[in-house]
Structure formats: structure tokens, C-alpha cells
């Protein structure tokens, strides 16, 4: 996943795991997620006329799928790739602004095997330029340990490589392994050279910290979006209670809420955001993540599709092909705020509350501050867009694309704190709040496995890297 957030003149980038797959992986995708060659039992049904009807139809198909709970000796295997999404332009969101987020980074890939306890393996593959004669530059220290590297893709001069070529000649592979036989998880980063991949870092494996969760549960949260126990609680309730159980899972996930308290994109009370709209957007995002990566029962998958069918802003786009050429149905969700905001007053108390709510320490006295600030009238814009393509006859999510952009009125006051932990260097700064988010996932394989057999070509180049 690629996320870029911009605030005023400074940019910060967060790059999460995504994926790029080559020939063999692409073939696996078709086998694992493509619909059967048999004539569909639902072929006689009329094409849905609305997004809600299409999503409910997919939910009905998901409910009919064969399934059994994840066994003690089984892995839930997911292979996914990132790609450059095709986001439609809007009047105040032209293609030029959208392209600023869709260029600069080559594709990435993630292949994951997790069992009931969270043990298994995760491969995070960073794609390169696609040229087999180019290798990442490596910076070793005097002991030979690698301190850093430079990728082969130059966003200013190179054409974006295909997903297949970029993964085939990947720059970097991160391998996290935790075998069932015992021991502790390990983490290592490998870099491609003319002699194969060499390890540049080796250490203990870790996952995103989450209060009250075991390491295995944290791996499940990180890669599935929920722990197995959370998923099973939803599976175990009665049919009449499942809709409420699914909604509760989406609304109260510890890991997700720790990163996005209240609203994922923007703040409640600003740019048209309300508690209800933020809750809906979070549910849409979380539901699509679970449909793409989690080992959920047919009944729970149906409940997720039905929840999506009740969300506002949905539009049926009709038949569409995903990045692998699989045919499915596209539904988009979109919320746009495009207004000229009037002159208004922002108090220092409001700025303090916003900073503290984001986890910053705010000193009692802020040098040079005033009790309130008058913000001049000006244009404000926020766009939240998510597209999903799913197989309506199998009830399987094939891919999703997410895009968001917001821009507040000019000279918006905010608290700038040099050290958020101590509150040192606090002052009131001014400027437009600009943020952008981009996220695209293509689900190549989602299946059960009894053994860990990586499909990435990098593993064939240096087999010991993936053992």
C-alpha cells in the first residue's frame, strides 16, 4: 500500500506492504480466484440495476461457497500486488493532481501464510525498474553491514515498469518467518545483486504494537485486518445477530482505530466530515480489506457485502476488468465536499484539543499565541473515492482502489510542535492543510495451504532467502 500525506509545504510518506507478481504468480491468481468454467447457477438472474443490488447478489454467491474453518495444520495464503490505479478526474480534482500521487513508486508485492496462531511467513517484495542489468546501490559500513540502499527505479526519468517485470527483478525482499516447530520469529532484508540476493539485515521478527494482543494476533491484525478469534466470534453468532456483529468488528478494531481515531481522512467537523460519514467510510475501507485478505466464513462474507450495500455514495459502474483481465462488476463509493467556506474564528483551545487528540504533548504556554484567530473565506475541497471489482457469481473481491485528496482554506492556523513527546518548540503556524492518499490492491491468490511454497521469482533466484 502506498500512502502519501501532504500538509502545507512539507510532505511525509508512508509506504506499507503491497505486491508485484510475475508469470507464475499471475497464473496462480487465475487458478485461485477465477470463477469456475461451469455455467453459473445464477446466469438466469437479470443484471442488477443498482450498486446495492449488485453487492447483495455477490453476498448471496459468497454465502453458497464451500468452506471449512481454518485447520490446525493449515495456512491462510494470500498473494496481493499493488498497481497504479485509474482514478477518474473531477472538476476540482483534475488528472494532473491525481497523477502527482500515482507516479514515483514502482509496484510492490506481499505474499503471506498465517496459521491459527499467527505463525507462518510473510514476504514483502519491493519492485525495481524492470531492467535485469540494473541493481540497487548498496551502502555498507566498515564491517560489511548494509546501512541502506538506492532503488533502481528513477521516477524522474524512467517509465513505470510493468508489474511482472518490476517483480521479476525486484530490488529488495523482506522475509519474516515464524516456524511452527518453535523458536522466535526472524526478520531479514535481502538486496538483489549480480550474484543473487544478499542479506543486509537480520533480527527478531516484530509486528505493529497493539495493546493486549499476542505477537501472533498482531501478525493477523497486520495482514488480515482482524484476529482469528475476532473473526470466529462473528462466525459463531446467529444469523439475526451477524449484521450487528460485523458492524461491531468494523467499528472497534484496535489496530485500525489506533491509527485513525474518529476519521481516517481529515477530521470530524471539517470539510463536510461528520461522525456518521467518517464511520461509513471506515466501514467501507475495513470491509473491503477483510474481503480481500481475511479467512472469513461464507456467512460473514455475505454480511460484509450486505453492509457495503447499505453504505451511502455507492454507484454501479457495470462490468469491468481488473488488472489481470478478470471480468467482474465494479462499484464505486464517492463523497465530495466542494464549497467556499465563510470567514470564521478558530480558538487556541480548539487547536490545543486537536493536537492533544492526535497524541501530541502541548505545553501550558505557547509563545506568541493569541486566544483566537480569524480565518478568511476561501475554497475548501475533500474527495474520498473507493472502487471495488468483485466476481458476482463467486462472491470474491478481485481488486480495490482507494484515493483521497483534501485541501483546506489558505492560512489555516494549526499547532506545530517540534517534539510531540515533550511539547518543545510549540508555535502556531499558518497554511493550507493538504493531504493525499492512494491505495490499490490486486488480490492474486486467496486460498488454503498446508505448506509454504513461495511463488515469487526472487525466491527461485536465492532459495535460502525464503526457507
Q: What is the mean pLDDT of each run of 10 residues along the chain (467 residues)?
A: 33 30 34 42 70 97 94 95 90 87 82 96 93 87 71 83 86 91 86 90 81 89 93 94 94 57 74 90 94 96 97 96 94 95 92 87 93 93 96 96 91 90 93 88 94 88 89
In a domain, 52, yes or no: no
Classify residue 142 as exposed, middle or buried by CB count within 10 Å of its CB (0-12, 13-18, 19+): exposed
Q: What is the pLDDT of residue 203?
A: 85
> Rounded to the nearest 5 degrees, what angle is found at the Cα of 335, between the Cα atoms of 329 and 337?
155
Helix (H) or strand (E) holding 113: strand 108-114
Cell of 361: 504533548
Q: What is the DSSP letter of 19?
A: B
The boundaries of the domain holding residue 20 are 2-34+59-466
Unique residue bearing C-alpha cell 466470534: 233
Greatest C-alpha distance within the chain:
72
Q: What is the pLDDT of residue 5?
A: 33
Classify residue 267 as exposed, middle or buried by CB count within 10 Å of its CB (0-12, 13-18, 19+): middle
Q: What is the pLDDT of residue 150?
A: 84
What distance in Å separates the CA atoms of residue 279 and residue 247, rounded to the nearest whole number? 10
In a domain, 45, yes or no: no
Number of Cβ within 10 Å of residue 138's Cβ equals 15
Q: What is the DSSP letter of 343?
A: P
Cell of 182: 518453535
Between the alpha carbon of residue 29 and those of residues 167, 299, 325, the distances in Å are 15, 24, 11
Rounded-to-10 torsion of CA 272, 274, 276, 281: 60
Report the SS3 class of residue 31.
helix
Between the alpha carbon of residue 68 and those of residues 71, 117, 443, the distances in Å are 8, 17, 21
Beta strands in 142-238 (DSSP E): 146-150, 172-178, 186-193, 196-204
Q: Among residues 52, 176, 204, which one has the least CA distance to residue 454?
A: 176
Cell of 128: 525495481
Question: Partners of 187 in the beta sheet?
Answer: 176, 203
In a domain, 336, yes or no: yes
Q: Among residues 219, 208, 177, 111, which one has the least CA distance to residue 188?
A: 177
In a domain, 48, yes or no: no
Q: What is the pLDDT of residue 71?
A: 94
pTM of the predicted model as reported, rounded to 2 decimal places: 0.84
Classify residue 7 as exposed, middle or buried by CB count within 10 Å of its CB (0-12, 13-18, 19+): middle
Q: What is the pLDDT of residue 31?
A: 34
Number of Cβ within 10 Å of residue 316's Cβ equals 17
In a domain, 43, yes or no: no
In a domain, 40, yes or no: no
- Please give the radius of gyration of the chain, using alpha carbons only, rounded to the nearest integer: 23
Number of Cβ within 10 Å of residue 465's Cβ equals 19
**Number of domains making up the chain:** 1
Could you tell me if 120 and 111 are in contact, meaning their C-beta atoms sit under 8 angstroms apart? no
In a domain, 406, yes or no: yes
Q: What is the pLDDT of residue 456?
A: 83
Q: Among residues 284, 286, 223, which one has the least CA distance to residue 252?
A: 286
Could you tell me if 465 and 121 are in contact, meaning their C-beta atoms sit under 8 angstroms apart? no
Report the SS3 class of residue 391.
strand
Question: Partners of 123 in the beta sheet?
Answer: 111, 175
Sequence-distant (6+) residues with CB within 8 A of 142 are none
In a domain, 49, yes or no: no
What distance in Å separates the CA atoms of residue 436 and residue 423, rounded to the nearest whole number? 27
What distance in Å separates the CA atoms of residue 187 and residue 297, rounded to the nearest whole number? 31
Report the SS3 class of residue 112.
strand
Classify residue 150 as exposed, middle or buried by CB count within 10 Å of its CB (0-12, 13-18, 19+): exposed
Amino acid at each position: 500500500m502506498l500512502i502519501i500525506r501532504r500538509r502545507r509545504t512539507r510532505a511525509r510518506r508512508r509506504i506499507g506492504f503491497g505486491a508485484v507478481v510475475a508469470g507464475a504468480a499471475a497464473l496462480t491468481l487465475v487458478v485461485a480466484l477465477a470463477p469456475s468454467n461451469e455455467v453459473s447457477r445464477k446466469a438466469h438472474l437479470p443484471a442488477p440495476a443498482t450498486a446495492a443490488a449488485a453487492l447483495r447478489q455477490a453476498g448471496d454467491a459468497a454465502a453458497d461457497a464451500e468452506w471449512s474453518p481454518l485447520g490446525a495444520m493449515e495456512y491462510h495464503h494470500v498473494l496481493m500486488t499493488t498497481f497504479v490505479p485509474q482514478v477518474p478526474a473531477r472538476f476540482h480534482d483534475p488528472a494532473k493532481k491525481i497523477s502527482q500521487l500515482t507516479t514515483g513508486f514502482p509496484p510492490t508485492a506481499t505474499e503471506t501464510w498465517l496459521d491459527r496462531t499467527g505463525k507462518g511467513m510473510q514476504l514483502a517484495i519491493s519492485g525495481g525498474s524492470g531492467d535485469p542489468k540494473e541493481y540497487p546501490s548498496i551502502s555498507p559500513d566498515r564491517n560489511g553491514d548494509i546501512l541502506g540502499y538506492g532503488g533502481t527505479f528513477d521516477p524522474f526519468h524512467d517509465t513505470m515498469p510493468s508489474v511482472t517485470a518490476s517483480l521479476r527483478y525486484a530490488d529488495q525482499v523482506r522475509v519474516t518467518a515464524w516456524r511452527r516447530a518453535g523458536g522466535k520469529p526472524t526478520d531479514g532484508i535481502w538486496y538483489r545483486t549480480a550474484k543473487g540476493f544478499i542479506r543486509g539485515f537480520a533480527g527478531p521478527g516484530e509486528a505493529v504494537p497493539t495493546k493486549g494482543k499476542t505477537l501472533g494476533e498482531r501478525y493477523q491484525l497486520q495482514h488480515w485486518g482482524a484476529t482469528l478469534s475476532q473473526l470466529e466470534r462473528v462466525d459463531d453468532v446467529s444469523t439475526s445477530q451477524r449484521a450487528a456483529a460485523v458492524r461491531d468488528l468494523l467499528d472497534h478494531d484496535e489496530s485500525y482505530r489506533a491509527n485513525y481515531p474518529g476519521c481516517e481522512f481529515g477530521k470530524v467537523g471539517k470539510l463536510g466530515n461528520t461522525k456518521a460519514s467518517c464511520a461509513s467510510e471506515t466501514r467501507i475501507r475495513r470491509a473491503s480489506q477483510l474481503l480481500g485478505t481475511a479467512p472469513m466464513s461464507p456467512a460473514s462474507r455475505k454480511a460484509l457485502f450486505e453492509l457495503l450495500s447499505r453504505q451511502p455514495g455507492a454507484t454501479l459502474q457495470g462490468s469491468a476488468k481488473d488488472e489481470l483481465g478478470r471480468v467482474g462488476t465494479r462499484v464505486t463509493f464517492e463523497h465530495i465536499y466542494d464549497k467556499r467556506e465563510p470567514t470564521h474564528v478558530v480558538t487556541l483551545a480548539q487547536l490545543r484539543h486537536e493536537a492533544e487528540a492526535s497524541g501530541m504533548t502541548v505545553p501550558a504556554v505557547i509563545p506568541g499565541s493569541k486566544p483566537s484567530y480569524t480565518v478568511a473565506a476561501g475554497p475548501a475541497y475533500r474527495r474520498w473515492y473507493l472502487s471495488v471489482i468483485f466476481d458476482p457469481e463467486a462472491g470474491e473481491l478481485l481488486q480495490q482502489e482507494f484515493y483521497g485528496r483534501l485541501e483546506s482554506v489558505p492560512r489555516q492556523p494549526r499547532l506545530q510542535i517540534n517534539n510531540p513527546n515533550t511539547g518543545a518548540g510549540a508555535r502556531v503556524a499558518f497554511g493550507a492543510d493538504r493531504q493525499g492518499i492512494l491505495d490499490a490492491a490486486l488480490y492474486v491468490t486467496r486460498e488454503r495451504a498446508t505448506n509454504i511454497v513461495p511463488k515469487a521469482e526472487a525466491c527461485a533466484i536465492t532459495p535460502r532467502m525464503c526457507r
